[in-house]
Structure 1
């Protein structure tokens, strides 16, 4: 098993965390939702795995390329 970093593609505010640590995720399952310029942009799992860590909290600002979560793939 490998640890995979989940990174943001854009800068935005962490609006809502929708997955819980320990959850089994499939590729493209949403982990959290960013709000940027009044748009909601999901940050999804890049591959199948188990969510092992969330590195941000709701209300945090994440810049492009920020590691927001880690999954065990």
Structure 2
């Protein structure tokens, strides 16, 4: 693979990860974690959404700046 193809693949994977986090934030809380670990792992939807949007924004900005 040439370097531009690897760069595009990285950007595509990163944006897909960010979009996946944004979609996961829209799911009900029970879908994000089973009831057995409800009190152990606390994943807030707003946290997932913020991280997802941040990834998409940062990677999109880098992609536009890199050309």
Classify the TM-score, shorter chain: under 0.3
TM-score by length of 1: 0.19
TM-score by length of 2: 0.20
Q: More strand per residue: 1 or 2? A: 1
Higher-Rg structure is 2
